[in-house]
Amino acid sequence: MLSKETSQNKLTEEIVESLRLEVEDVSPTERKGLLELVQKYNEAILEQYAGYIQEAQQAQDQTKKFLFIQDRETFNRFVKEYSLGQTHTDKLLIHGATFKGDYLGDYIVLSIYNALNLPVSNRFRELGGANLMQMSFELNVKIIIHELFHIYCGAENQLFSEAGAVYYTSQILESMGLHNIVLENDDKHTAAFQKLIDNYGEDVHKLFFGQKIHSVKSKVIYDDLADLLKG
């Protein structure tokens, strides 16, 4: 079992591969296919936002090395057994989501495998109708892109981080001609974040991707977003 102390330090590829044998429940072929998707959309993000992303190559390497793909049951066990429900390094580890994916410090966990197995909850039926396979693929793409933006996010405010990831995900999907499955609160987050950009321009992008802006300005942006989401 990976200790809490180990999880707070940088992982080696050897440790990750050993851990993967325990906690990843997809075949090498399935993993390869999903990694190809991750890399494809990661490259689109880097192309569109390279001017704002710091240490882009390091983050890109992490998506290759420290990615685990799990079903929901395995993900829940992973979080519980490996003591990852705390804040390690400079990232908030666990946050709620209907379809789970998280950046866990040195870990990237995409719990999207169930979507590949066609979840048929009432909500999914409403969204997808008879075309569940296509819906499953589109939802996985959205989750992958959304979580990649969390990797690149350098903002300390969780509400801002989430709204930004929703906004930037919609931008990438649109630029690539991909369908955006709009989930609960997506429209509200996207509209609020666009309003911030309209009001504060490049400072919003800089703040999201971890570049330095004046602390007073960042507080104003965070407070403005909170007010916009209340309305």
On whether both 23 and 77 belong to a single domain, the answer is yes
On whether both 100 and 20 belong to a single domain, the answer is yes
On whether both 13 and 81 belong to a single domain, the answer is yes
**Model confidence band, residue 27 (pLDDT cutoffs 50, 70, 90):** confident
pLDDT of residue 1: 37
On whether both 76 and 178 belong to a single domain, the answer is no
Q: Among 120, 152, 184, where does a domain finish? A: 152
| Distance, CA of 203 to CA of 221 (rounded, Å) | 9
| Distance, CA of 172 to CA of 194 (rounded, Å) | 14
> Which structure tokens are listed for 130?
């008879």
User: Rounded to 5 degrees, what angle do the CA atoms 19, 45, 10 make?
Assistant: 30
pLDDT of residue 65: 54
Residue 123 in this model has a pLDDT that exceeds 80: no
pLDDT of residue 66: 56
On whether both 96 and 173 belong to a single domain, the answer is no
On whether both 26 and 102 belong to a single domain, the answer is yes
Q: What pairs with residue 34 in β-bridges? A: none
Q: Among 152, 182, 217, where does a domain finish? A: 152
Total number of domains constituting the chain: 2
On whether both 142 and 221 belong to a single domain, the answer is no
On whether both 122 and 31 belong to a single domain, the answer is yes
On whether both 15 and 92 belong to a single domain, the answer is yes
**Model confidence band, residue 3 (pLDDT cutoffs 50, 70, 90):** very low
Q: Among 119, 152, 185, where does a domain finish? A: 152
Which has the minimum average pLDDT: 22-26, 45-49, 163-167, 170-174?
22-26
Q: What pairs with residue 8 in β-bridges? A: none
Judge contact between 38 and 149, C-beta under 8 A: no
> What residue spans of the chain are helical by DSSP H?
4-7, 13-23, 28-49, 56-65, 72-81, 113-116, 122-128, 132-152, 158-175, 186-200, 202-208, 215-230
Residue 209 in this model has a pLDDT that exceeds 80: yes
| Distance, CA of 11 to CA of 66 (rounded, Å) | 9
Range of the domain at 131: 1-152
Strand ranges of the sheet holding 107-110, from the earlier edge strand across to the other edge: 67-69, 107-110, 101-104
Q: What is the pLDDT of residues 140-149, one digit of tens each?
A: 788 788 878 8
Which has the minimum average pLDDT: 20-34, 61-75, 188-202?
61-75
Average pLDDT for the chain = 71
Which pTM was predicted?
0.72
On whether both 6 and 26 belong to a single domain, the answer is yes
Q: What is the share, in percent, of the chain residues with pLDDT greater than 90? A: 29
On whether both 162 and 132 belong to a single domain, the answer is no
Residue 89 in this model has a pLDDT that exceeds 70: no
Q: Which residue has the tokens 């190809």?
A: 36
Q: What is the pLDDT of residues 43-68, one digit of tens each?
A: 899 899 988 986 655 555 555 555 66
